[in-house]
Structure 1
Amino acid sequence: MKKWLLYLCVALLIVLPLSACSQEKVETINLAEVTHSIFYAPLYVAMAEGFFEEEGLDVKLTTTWGGDKTMTALLSDGADIALVGSETSIYVHAQGSNDPIINFAQLTQTDGTFLVSREKIDDFEWEQLKDSTFLGQRKGGMPQMVGEFVLKEHGIDPQTDLELIQNVDFANIPSAFASGTGDFVQLFEPTASIFEKEGTGHIVASFGTESGKVPYTTFMSKQSFLDENEEAAKKFTTAIYKAQQWVQEKSVKEIAESIAPQFEDTELELIETVVQRYKEQGSFATDPILDVEEWENLQNIMDEAGELPMRVDHETLVNTSFAEEVSSK
């Protein structure tokens, strides 16, 4: 009996430290996303295909519905990392933050919204928006700024040539259009395609193809978090890069099947249609590097919309060290 107890004690001495080490290797990351969209397919692929797990990370995802709410979550430590438009980091910087918000990995590189018309239009021309009611996105947010930028590129003044509605909360824009507000609306997927299938609206143009490359949504965090969790940030970026490469290599069907559990109420065929749209217009970034040209294009769009509080150098709010390191392997 004593011999058996001795063996048990020895076994516990061996197993318990190993168990503790195993637990230490898994780090929880609280991630807040600004909306839940097929536009963020590489993120969901990283979760579904186990790329975060391979890096020893347990990512807890929360949808915070809107740039202001997402940034509030990050600033109040309700999230470790936020997936949101890069413009939000500039707004925080302009307010004089002592702990700047740093963009460290890019997920999408074009606008992800589509112009949806209430009536079916076979040969759409941008001029048809004149004298219409346009249900836009939140003022100061990336979707709205890109929307106004594209309208101006087509000779439309969003303030005088149409009735621009901007006072609807981000999460309520689809339901507002469905209930009869607006002749046109700017929507993310899969909502745009769902509306088209239901006959609620019709996709007539893509803001992504019209606006060019821009760091539309990036992963960002407080400087203090990155300083204190450098290894975790690098592992997170590695998992995202693996997913970006996976998305580039796999078929639309394979991508759709991977992310389908994130969109249980959306038919697989519809998910495939949306993924195809985003792949064709190059919305999914092929690596997590946010370069200087994209950063400047972002600020040009903000400036055109009258929402740029100040010009900020790329190196001030962008850290590409993690992205460059994992992309070079």
Structure 2
Amino acid sequence: MKLTRRLTLAAGLAVATLGMAPAFAQAKEVTKISFMEVIHSLFYSPLYVALDRGYFEEEGIAFDLVAGQGSDKVTAALLGGSVDIALAGPETTIYVETGKSPEKIRIFAGLTATDGSFLVGRAPAQAPFDWASLKGKKILGWREGSSPALFLREALGKAGLDPDKDVEIITNVAIPARVGAFMSGVADYGTFFEPDVTKLEAGGLYAQTNVGQAVGDIDYTVFIARQSYIAEYPEIVGGFARAIAKAEVWIDTAPAAEVAASLSGYFPGVSAEELAQTVERHREAGVWKTTPAVTPEAVAALQALLVGNGLMPAGSEVPYERVVDPQFFEAAE
């Protein structure tokens, strides 16, 4: 396993004044970990808030933001040892647990309560939006088996549509090319995360509704790590969970303008007004968790979703304790 690099901040030397002897400030050890997020999105705003407000620094943790462009790629990097902690869909933990990999991973904190993607169309939205109106339409979706693909299928199913017969879901467009493809005319509708929703609206397209609201609360993105890493560095994993918990509490009630200011450095191409708008949009949809806890009920609902979509055989559900390590978010609450 790749060794985690530890960086020691040099202790400052206090210069003696007023006849006092010089004193050495206590050195603070900071651990530089390797981290990967599935994509870079305003949907993950509590993560960036935790960075901006120094919550990770308070816990002695530092890392760079690297986007893996898909939970499958993030999980491969995690299992390969080039990443210590990752943000990905919770289904990846189940896939690994039921797979042949000798290395297993665990969820240790949750970030989002449901799908934060928004359905975007080419005409102004009707209120309330009727998912059944998508019958016969082409929808630009995501990789089959991924969280956004599963949630889109569930939203369609709840509206009485068969995702395989009543609509055509396009799943073969790479993540970096999705916005351009949709703006060029691919599909009638598409599901996108912020800040892409804002970009599409600026290009004359229209956000219709939030996918997660149609599905309900099922943990959507979580923080994961290898079991071996958790066992070797529990203090790092615990500190990471505490930093996220602080950010989730703050972003839930802070003024939108303050949140926008905290996020601005991570989304330089988005204006302060647009950032504040996305904060309100996410809050209204109820997609951000207010605590990092991942419950047994949420894991059961996720596995029911996987079984219902043919990604797991019925009866093969994995026990909660083989998916989630709750000790860290329990301590953070």
TM-score normalised by length of structure 1? 0.90
CA distance in 2, matches of 1:30, 1:89: 19
CA distance in 2, matches of 1:173, 1:100: 31
CA distance in 2, matches of 1:51, 1:120: 40
CA distance in 2, matches of 1:245, 1:301: 28
Given candidates 220, 224, 230, the residue that maps to 1:220 is 224
SS of equivalent residue, structure 1 residue 220: strand
Given candidates 152, 155, 160, the residue that maps to 1:155 is 160
CA distance in 2, matches of 1:282, 1:132: 27
The residue number in structure 1 matching 2:323 is 317
2:231 equivalent to 1:235: no
The residue number in structure 2 matching 1:285 is 289
Query: Can you list the C-alpha shifts for 1:157-178, whole angstroms capped at 9, x where unaligned?
Result: 1111122211112232222111
Query: Can you list the C-alpha shifts for 1:142-192, whole angstroms capped at 9, x where unaligned?
Result: 000000001000011111112221111223222211121000101111111
2:49 equivalent to 1:45: yes
CA distance in 1, matches of 2:121, 2:189: 5
The percentage of counterpart residues that share the same residue type is: 37
Query: Can you list the C-alpha shifts for 1:236-255, whole angstroms capped at 9, x where unaligned?
Result: 11111111111123111111
**Paired residues of 1:137 and 1:173 also in contact (CA < 8 A):** no
CA distance in 2, matches of 1:317, 1:188: 26
**Paired residues of 1:33 and 1:63 also in contact (CA < 8 A):** yes
CA distance in 2, matches of 1:308, 1:40: 27
Residue 22 of structure 1 and its aligned partner are, at CA, apart by 2.4
Stretch moving more, 119-128 or 291-300: 119-128
Residue 193 of structure 1 and its aligned partner are, at CA, apart by 2.1
SS of equivalent residue, structure 1 residue 26: strand
The residue number in structure 1 matching 2:13 is none
**Paired residues of 1:66 and 1:171 also in contact (CA < 8 A):** no
**Paired residues of 2:107 and 2:324 also in contact (CA < 8 A):** yes
Given candidates 129, 139, 142, the residue that maps to 2:147 is 142
The residue number in structure 2 matching 1:187 is 192
Query: Can you list the C-alpha shifts for 1:70-124, whole angstroms capped at 9, x where unaligned?
Result: 1111111121001000001111112132221100000111101111112334354
Q: What RMSD in Å do the two structures reach over aligned CA positions?
A: 1.9
The residue number in structure 2 matching 1:3 is none
The residue number in structure 2 matching 1:303 is 307
Residue 60 of structure 1 and its aligned partner are, at CA, apart by 2.0
Unpaired stretches in structure 1, ≥5 consecutive residues: 1-14
Letter in 2 for 1:210: A
Stretch moving more, 122-131 or 217-226: 122-131
CA distance in 2, matches of 1:174, 1:89: 28
Which structure has the larger Rg over C-alpha atoms? 1
Query: Can you list the C-alpha shifts for 1:274-323, whole angstroms capped at 9, x where unaligned?
Result: 11111122211111110011111111222222222531111111011010
**Paired residues of 2:37 and 2:66 also in contact (CA < 8 A):** yes
2:285 equivalent to 1:256: no
Given candidates 116, 126, 132, the residue that maps to 2:131 is 126
Given candidates 171, 175, 179, the residue that maps to 1:170 is 175
SS of equivalent residue, structure 1 residue 63: coil
Letter in 1 for 2:320: H
CA distance in 1, matches of 2:89, 2:201: 26
CA distance in 1, matches of 2:308, 2:178: 24
SS of equivalent residue, structure 2 residue 219: coil
**Paired residues of 1:31 and 1:79 also in contact (CA < 8 A):** yes
2:92 equivalent to 1:88: yes
Residue 130 of structure 1 and its aligned partner are, at CA, apart by 1.0
Structure with the largest fraction of helix: 1
CA distance in 2, matches of 1:98, 1:246: 38
Report the count of equivalent residues: 311
Given candidates 111, 118, 132, the residue that maps to 2:115 is 111
**Paired residues of 2:78 and 2:86 also in contact (CA < 8 A):** yes
CA distance in 1, matches of 2:179, 2:72: 18
The residue number in structure 1 matching 2:74 is 70
SS of equivalent residue, structure 2 residue 34: strand
**Paired residues of 1:114 and 1:207 also in contact (CA < 8 A):** yes
SS of equivalent residue, structure 1 residue 260: helix
